[in-house]
Structure 1
Amino acid sequence: MEAWERKLLHTERGVFEVFIKGDGNPLCVTHHYSEFNETGDYFAETFTVTNQVFLINLREAGGSDKSHEPYQLSMLETIFDLEAIREALGLSHWGFAGHSTGGMLGILYGIHFSKSLDFSVIVGAAAREYMTFSEDCIYNEAHHDFSRMQDMIEALKQSDLSLEERKELSVERTKLSLHKPERYRELFSLDIHKGMSAARMNFFIRELQIYDVTRKLEFIRVPTLIMCGRFDVQCPLKYSIEMAEGVPDSRLVIFERSNHYPFLEEAERFRDEYELFLNEKK
């Protein structure tokens, strides 16, 4: 598999590590606390056939600048960073695609900077805190896999983990979010590996408690494709339905045989729905 091109991009808000792959119209892809490298990302890889993808390490992730103040790790400040990156790349606008917390960033991006976006793709995400009122969410204490998930998240934050230990924990954590866990080896067969920024994750956990932009969804003025697996245990389906009801120019696609990874669990349909969306908005 072709590696991603690495670039250190100097912006007015600092230096950010960006990985680039694919041809076509520009598309920004990121995740709120993942650390990417030249091997790329399964979600981002999906779009490299149709777009030139810019996969971004946010502040405190990978080779990007550190934060000087805690607030710089907030979701809103992150959107300002993405705007600085877009400008430094010389792009007047681009598309955005985000999965999970990346999708949450996409919602905020659309609310505040629709003028900079051609479109948004939001997958397995939410416009508000999704744990407290959702017993079908794996981060809710009532969920039967809650304790297992928490133990693995805490373990992954440890800086002294061996590569093998980190890989094993990541595999087990991911299996909890698959509709058919036995398909893990089949679905995650590429040589792609990424890390987690503990600083970003820790700040996110605090910020999430007050995250709710549902009443601002009407300010998103770009075509928005919202997709979610029927059995998503991380950001349950009802939150995608809520976003689709609130975003004026949106379309909701539900994947009936998927959990949190419809772009892998139902990869062919995912690609078809995305290409249909691109054609419809022309």
Structure 2
Amino acid sequence: MIKTTRGTFEVFVKGEGEPICITHHYSEFNETGDYFADTFTDNNKVFLVNLKDAGNSDKANYAHELSMIDAVLDLEEIRKVKGFPSWTFAGHSTGGMIGIIYGIHFSFSLKSLIIVGSSAREYSSSSNRCIYNEGHPKFKRMQELIEILKLPSLSEEERKRLSKERTQLSLFTPDNYDLYFSKNITKKMSASRMNFFSREQLIFDVTRQLPSVKTNTYILCGRHDVQCPIDFSIELGELITAASLHIFEQSNHYPFLEEEFEFKKILKNIL
């Protein structure tokens, strides 16, 4: 538990080396860890942060405390308390959206920025390649699963089954789910944060501010990503001056699992 001027946050720490901060907009992490975060722990010290209303971190007193900019302000306070003059931020999906805002406003606090399968603007309405777009053939089922998984009454067995189905919708080879997700890692979803994000993302667009990102930025994306289609990663690579883009040809939304060897090889070169 890390106490800051903006509240107290639950942070899970693993690994040794240079510090890397990782979070996600609405995931609730616990001591079992996180698949994305685990990718970095071989050579770095990872700080996996539960934001407000997630896990045992403080509850939000006001709605705006659940916003992406407030998440960035909270992360900055955690960095200061830990005494790091700078650190790397890595974010996957909505964690990447938080990372982009971090880079826009606090590049001087970042040694580097790693954005995986993400976007700098609202992505669902503008692309029917996105599974959150009504034109996508699997849109309806994805929405059903999201709403069911918010229910606190779900048994652990049912939650696990439905979470698996939801994740399989975002894999290049769905039958490989058990191979990719073989560790004893479990996490929940913060309903309040998810509900806030579902509104905030409707007006989210920071593309005009991307030139403000001054730190070295690495954009990684699966060619077949159905959550944040590849066009949005290409856009990031074009609009961030210090950015490089790598596309994983046999991946959907989880290249760090679907092409783990190549992903870790690229991380080694980056870090």
| 1:38-53 correspondence runs (5 A) | 38-53=31-46
Per-residue deviation, 1:192 = 0.3
Structure-to-structure mapping, 1:102-121, within 5 angstroms? 102-121=95-114
**How many equivalent pairs are there?**
271
Name the amino acid aligned to 1:275.
Answer: K
Q: Could you tell me how far 1:50 is from its partner in structure 2? A: 1.5
**Quick check: 1:140 aligned with 2:133?**
yes
Match of 1:80 among 49, 73, 77: 73
Residue 222 of structure 2 is matched in structure 1 by 229
2-structure distance, mates of 1:277, 1:85: 24
1:188 and 2:173 are equivalent in the alignment = no
TM-score normalised by structure 1 residue count? 0.95
- Provide the rounded CA distance (Å) in 2 between the counterparts of 1:30 and 1:144: 30
Please give the per-residue CA displacement for 1:120-176, whole angstroms capped at 9, x wherever unaligned: 100000000001110000000010000000000000000111111111110000000
Shift of residue 88, structure 1, vs aligned partner = 1.3
The amino acid across from 2:32 in the alignment is T
CA distance in structure 2 between the partners assigned to 1:134 and 1:77 by the alignment: 28
Q: Please report the RMSD computed on the Cα atoms of aligned residues, expressed in angstroms.
A: 0.5
**Do residues 94 (structure 1) and 87 (structure 2) align?**
yes
Aligned to 2:194: 201
Question: What's the counterpart of residue 5 of structure 1?
Answer: none
Q: Distance in 2 between matches of 1:19 and 1:277?
A: 23
- How far is 1:89 from its partner? 1.2
Summarize the alignment of residues 53-68 of structure 1 with structure 2, pairs less than 5 Å apart. Answer: 53-68=46-61
Deviation, structure 1 residue 92:
1.3
Please name the residue that 1:71 is paired with: 64
The reply to whether residue 17 of structure 1 matches residue 10 of structure 2 is yes
Instruction: Give the SS at the match of 2:91.
Output: strand
- Correspondence 1:245 to 2:238: yes
Render the CA deviation track for 1:17-62: whole Å, top value 9, x for unaligned: 0000001100000000000000000000000012100000000000
Q: Distance in 2 between matches of 1:98 and 1:16?
A: 18
Q: Write the letter of the residue equivalent to 2:218.
A: L
Percent identical among aligned pairs is 58
SS of structure 1 residue aligned to 2:53: coil
Q: Distance in 2 between matches of 1:273 and 1:94?
A: 19
TM-score (norm 2): 0.99
Deviation at 1:66, TM superposition (A): 0.3
Which sections of structure 1, spanning at least 5 residues, go unmatched?
Answer: 1-7
Unaligned runs of 5+ residues in structure 2 are: none
What is the rounded CA distance, in whole Å, between the counterparts of 2:257 and 2:51 in structure 1? 24
Structure 2 CA distance for aligned equivalents of residues 221 and 133 of structure 1: 28
